[in-house]
Structure 1
Amino acid sequence: MQRRDIAEMLLLAALWGASFLFMRVGATDFGPAALVFLRVAGASLLLLPLLAWRGEVGALRAQWRPIALVGVVNTALPFALYMVALLVLSAGLASIFNATAPLWGALIAWAWLGDRPTPLRGLGLALGFAGVLWLGIDNASLRAGSAGVSPALGIAACIAATACYGWTANYTKQRLTGVPPMAVAAGSQAFAALATLPAALWWWPATLPGPTAWAGAAALALACTGLAYLLYFRLIARVGPAKTIAVTFLIPAFAVLWGAMFLGERLTPTMLGGCAVILLGTALATGLLRTRRSRPAGSPAP
């Protein structure tokens, strides 16, 4: 990776880490339904013109059905689940659960596609989900907070969201291989906006938030979603998906940092230990961390 690639990966991790901060604040101001719509609609306004400028609208038109499904399962549904979770969980804790998305991708590939993991990757799956269980048991209070959501429900929402990401990764591999990434990114955001519009209208806040809340929603939509997608797919094109997925390991660090700086959130020893176990399991399960014996002869260390 060149210096520019590393800089863009750090920027991408910072943006996606900040998204948990903006979701945590904005979900209270707007409500989950309205904020999800604002996020995906704003990202669509940025990505669709770029798609047209690249001359790839035809790819979206040809594959609109699977892209629409990706928009619902990979964007609208998990975004809504995280909005609910962040009513009661800290941004740092939610981002740690988000880091399990590659684990779900590997597990679903095994169950659905018959992609049986090696013993080392199987160990990674076990370690990763053990970390999830550790964090869940430590934080899963059933007492509802002021928003009517309990920490246990928030954790379940995070896990359901990451399972959506894991399922979509395998579905995209099956149905959308060869489709221009920008068509998938822009189209999925546009269809997610259509899917979330009715709920946003129904639960639109009776009293509109102030300018600061709207600025946060704009940053979430344009920077943490639209710009982040551009960086993500550009990194995939330049350095490949195997290296780009390493951004997953950086997001919790930035989310914890932003949460501590702007919301006064605290990193507990259990969060730190659970995060370490989850990231180690993810590194093994995705093949980013391999023993010398598991690498082909003559291949460089990852």
Structure 2
Amino acid sequence: MLDRRDDITTPQRVDSPRASISGLFNRATARMPVPVMLAGAVCVALSSVFVPLTHVSTGTVTLFRSLLSMPFLIPMALSEARATPARPPHSRWTAYVAGVLLAGDILLWNQAIADSGAGIATVIVNAQVVLVPLLGWIFLRERPGAAFVAVVPVMLAGVALAGGVVGGGSGRNPAQGAIFAAAAALCYAGFLFLLRQASDEDHVVVPVTESAAASGVVALVVGPFWHGLDLLPGWAAFGWLAAIALTGQVASYLLIASALPRLPASVGAALLLLQPVGSVLLGAIILGERPTPVQLGGCAVVLIALYLATLTARRGDPGAGSSREP
């Protein structure tokens, strides 16, 4: 009988003999799901820094990050599918719906930034740190621990400081931007929750590939009506779009999908708060942006809160891990 405990340092199974891409991820995340999850968050942050360098519409970015990821994902997905047992049909549809929500998150998030400014949009979108555990509680009976609940306000306060909320806001339509950001938060939380359900120790690449394909289809359909869709963005933009596909679609979600099943929903959501912090720091390095001392202080607050959240889970705080019931 498989061990049902979701301790963040103990995998549910590590003795699978299957030689596949998912097997490699399984071994890599067996003892260190937290570092793997953080690496995925850094990849997402890196791709978000590349977006302004493309100078194309959000729909174009969403389409090409999916399209250009396929030459990398499809061969790995086929290899994984041949080496692993068949998946239940509902798992495939779960991944497709996750991809639809990912596209919604990307499209809505970028519009929220334009309307309300990056600071406010960042705070609202990162409500996923609360929404993902809430979904886990409702659908999987995973109750977050009291210590995690206590540290959530600290995390969000740090994100607010890192996003530049303190010291003045920006944006042409804050109210509309807040609505878009809230919708993006719901989409992102749903995407993370469903990707976690569609992935397991045998299947990592296939769910990521399916969700990426669904995201691209949504961008192709919606993009022309959402600030336009440029199918010939030019070579300079194409290079940055390829970088976004490799970091923000291939590397990031392969890492995240492999770590999510091994982490409580609350801890996985908290670790992804490294993404806005990473965006601030990488923006300073790559784009020459100058974060204020307040923003740097907010980054420090988030990092400390992340450490406390994961430390609580490691020590076996009741509810810090999932309490899945059959």
Q: Distance in 2 between matches of 1:181 and 1:256?
A: 29
Residue 122 (structure 1) aligned with residue 144 (structure 2): no
Question: Corresponding residue for 1:255?
Answer: 279
| CA apart distance, 1:277 | 4.2
| CA apart distance, 1:190 | 0.8
Contact 1:51 1:186 in 2 (8 A): yes
Change over 3 Å in CA distance of 1:114–1:279 after alignment to 2: farther
1:25 aligned partner, one-letter code:
L
Question: Corresponding residue for 2:220?
Answer: 197
Q: Distance in 2 between matches of 1:18 and 1:115?
A: 31
Larger relative helix fraction: 1
Q: Distance in 1 between matches of 2:167 and 2:201?
A: 42
Residue 268 (structure 1) aligned with residue 292 (structure 2): yes
Question: What TM-score, normalized to structure 1?
Answer: 0.71
The superposition leaves residues 104-127 of structure 1 with CA deviations (integer Å, 9 ceiling, x where unpaired) of: 312343466554433322212333
2:203 aligned partner, one-letter code:
P
Residue 70 (structure 1) aligned with residue 111 (structure 2): no
2:48 aligned partner, one-letter code:
F
1:265 aligned partner, one-letter code:
E
Change over 3 Å in CA distance of 1:291–1:188 after alignment to 2: closer
Could you say what secondary structure the match of 1:40 adopts?
A: helix
Question: Corresponding residue for 1:300?
Answer: none
Could you say what secondary structure the match of 1:128 adopts?
A: helix
Contact 1:107 1:125 in 2 (8 A): no
Alignment of 1:89-238 (within 5 A): 101-110=128-137, 115-131=142-158, 138=166, 141=169, 143-144=171-172, 150=173, 154=177, 157-172=180-195, 180-202=203-225, 203-205=228-230, 208-233=232-257
Q: Distance in 2 between matches of 1:133 and 1:235?
A: 26
Question: Corresponding residue for 2:324?
Answer: none
Change over 3 Å in CA distance of 1:166–1:282 after alignment to 2: farther
Question: Could you tell me the percent identity over the aligned residues?
Answer: 26
Residue 84 (structure 1) aligned with residue 111 (structure 2): yes
Question: Corresponding residue for 1:49?
Answer: 75
Question: Corresponding residue for 2:58?
Answer: 32
Question: Corresponding residue for 1:18?
Answer: 46
Contact 2:198 2:207 in 1 (8 A): no
Change over 3 Å in CA distance of 1:60–1:98 after alignment to 2: farther
Q: Distance in 2 between matches of 1:222 and 1:173?
A: 21
Q: Quick one: which of 310, 317, 322 aligns to 1:288?
A: 310
Shifted more, 227-236 versus 243-252: the winner is 243-252
2:92 aligned partner, one-letter code:
W
Could you say what secondary structure the match of 1:106 adopts?
A: helix
1:220 aligned partner, one-letter code:
I
Question: Corresponding residue for 1:147?
Answer: none
| Coordinate RMSD, CA, aligned | 4.3
Q: Distance in 2 between matches of 1:244 and 1:142?
A: 30
Number of matched pairs: 283
Change over 3 Å in CA distance of 1:117–1:61 after alignment to 2: closer
For structure 1, which runs of at least 5 residues remain unmatched after alignment? 145-149, 297-302
Contact 1:23 1:86 in 2 (8 A): no
For structure 2, which runs of at least 5 residues remain unmatched after alignment? 1-8, 10-27, 319-326
Contact 1:59 1:179 in 2 (8 A): no
Change over 3 Å in CA distance of 1:96–1:252 after alignment to 2: farther
Contact 1:17 1:252 in 2 (8 A): yes
Question: What TM-score, normalized to structure 2?
Answer: 0.66
Q: Distance in 1 between matches of 2:150 and 2:143?
A: 12
Q: Distance in 2 between matches of 1:183 and 1:219?
A: 21
